[in-house]
Structure 1
Amino acid sequence: MQKEKSSEWPLIDAFGICRQTLLPLYLRPTFDSALVTQLLFGECYQTIAMTSDQQWFKIFHEGTGLQGWITTQSLKEIPAGDYYKYLNTDFQIVTSPVAAIEYQSTNLYLLPGSRLHFSDLELFNWQDHIGFTGSVRSHVVKADRAQLIDIASKFVNSPFQSGGRSLFGMDEIQGFELIFNIAGYSWKSGDILGRKIDSELILPGDLFIFKELERKHVKYALYLGAEEVLWMDNRLRVSYLSEWETIIWNSKDNHAELETRSIIN
């Protein structure tokens, strides 16, 4: 049944998968709307609504906990059984800056964070039908500190883009969530991972989290070791910890706090 006084029709038990390099999710069903997030190849979603003309579909992405609108041309449906299987079984996740697969004489280019589901029911049969170039890791195996920093280093100089989740544009918050997800640590939007630690105990791979309480704004910095951090400043860049601290405290509101968290044991 259509929602009263709305052009949005709810859907249930509908699921899909991203089968393009990058899939934008918009705040409203129009191309001039704000970008909420982006899905990478192989990421799955629930389809929860559509416009009355069936030109746009609202989807929910379990991995980020975000929802937005995609065009009907971008919708790639999968059975419910496949959706839940992909959520609850291991998969290979792309780690190289650019990877490619060959399927039915077509080259598909993949970005870091893209997923490959090795299933007989899926688009691909890893053993027989894919010519793959690039590097992947098993998502179920959590990266150690050195591996996490290696993953993060691939995104250095990625420009800022609100809602972005790729080398071509990274959101200030979602970018760090993506890095940790590639490393095997599930991190949904709005969550804070790990445990608080004393700043004097920080190790490479730990996070500094700066919270401006009045503006409800958060900034992250990944500690790399040797007093260096990775953070977003129009682009993802490396600087000395002291420089980052000077910048954030000079731009703070009247109520702010800085905490340190350890995510990797």
Structure 2
Amino acid sequence: MNYGICNLSIIPLRIEPNDISEMVSQVLFGEHFKVLEMRKKWSKIRLAFDNYEGWIDNKQFEEIDEETYFELKTSSSFLAAELIDFTTDEQQNFLTIPIGSSLPFYKNQQLVVNTKNFNYEGEVYNGKKPKDSLIEIAYKFLNTPYLWGGKTPFGIDCSGFTQMVYKLCGYKLLRDASQQATQGEVLSFIEESEPGDLAFFDNNEGNITHVGIIMNDNYIIHAHGKVRIDRIDHSGIFNVDTQRHTHKLRVIKKIV
């Protein structure tokens, strides 16, 4: 088995091994993974954080050994907390990184990617935060444009948004809305929910296709066109701009 780590800011994770294939997610700086299959130009990987699989360009990651992979998997997780910041290597080369980027082996503003040392002076998140921090961090992404497969303030999809908010608070969610809906405890009514709980929505075929984070007073924050705040009721999401329902409520889950 081969292993790798992302040494660039944001790289696309694609469904097929070519540049015009659909982007299903992104790999952020410092994220590590297993390499399931390696071809001349592309590698199929499985991310350590959520076991999500896809193809990345061989020019956009570095290989690491098995020992380093398992050290990363068992070491304490440190994440960049600034919306956008930068890290520098020993030659003072400058690399921009987004919020949620991993900081491998972080200590005293120093981190190590493969065998290269980096300096990062920004705010860092580590460990589990109280549940009320979920809404506070969700606000950081407000007005982020919707991007299928996105996970950053430059573009994000509905499940990427919820996953990143939970990740920054120290909790693991799976990548897609349908996968996230398998986690946590079912709540029977909106009235039972608390800020930070997840609401899931289905399409006409009954497939879960959307997710958002419940707020106080029957509001929800979710990625639809952009990360926005709308009303939620027993029918679903009521868009405050168009004054109509846009998503049909399926289930509410308590994760934390």
**Partner of residue 68, structure 1:** 54
Residue 219 (structure 1) aligned with residue 210 (structure 2): yes
Q: Which has the larger radius of gyration?
A: 1
Q: Could you tell which deviates more after superposition, 203-212 or 241-250? A: 241-250
User: 1:263, CA displacement in angstroms?
Assistant: 1.7
Q: Is the 8 A contact 1:99 1:135 kept in 2?
A: no
Q: Could you tell which deviates more after superposition, 203-212 or 105-114? A: 203-212
Stretches of structure 1 lacking an aligned partner (at least 5 in a row):
1-12
Residue 36 (structure 1) aligned with residue 36 (structure 2): no
User: 1:152, CA displacement in angstroms?
Assistant: 1.0
**Partner of residue 174, structure 2:** 188
Give, in whole Å, the separation in 2 of the partners of 1:226 and 1:73.
48
Deviation per CA, 1:86-137, whole angstroms, max 9, x where unpaired?
A: 11221211122012222121122211110112269933899xx644232111
Q: Is the 8 A contact 1:212 1:257 kept in 2?
A: no
Secondary structure of the residue that 1:236 maps to in structure 2? strand
Scaled by the length of structure 2, what TM-score is found?
A: 0.85
Could you tell me which of 159, 165, 187 is aligned with 2:151?
Answer: 165
Give, in whole Å, the separation in 2 of the partners of 1:205 and 1:118.
29
Alignment length (residue pairs):
243
Give, in whole Å, the separation in 2 of the partners of 1:217 and 1:263.
17
Stretches of structure 2 lacking an aligned partner (at least 5 in a row):
none
**Partner of residue 100, structure 2:** 113
Give, in whole Å, the separation in 2 of the partners of 1:131 and 1:15.
24
Q: Is the 8 A contact 1:124 1:130 kept in 2?
A: no
**What is the root-mean-square deviation of aligned Cα atoms in Å?**
2.7
Q: Is the 8 A contact 2:8 2:95 kept in 1?
A: yes
Give, in whole Å, the separation in 1 of the partners of 2:211 and 2:16.
28
Per the alignment, do residues 78 and 32 of structure 1 end up closer, same or farther by CA in structure 2, a change over 3 Å counting? same
Q: Percent identity?
A: 23
Per the alignment, do residues 200 and 63 of structure 1 end up closer, same or farther by CA in structure 2, a change over 3 Å counting? same
> When you count strand as a share of all residues, which structure comes out higher?
2
Give, in whole Å, the separation in 2 of the partners of 1:124 and 1:65.
21
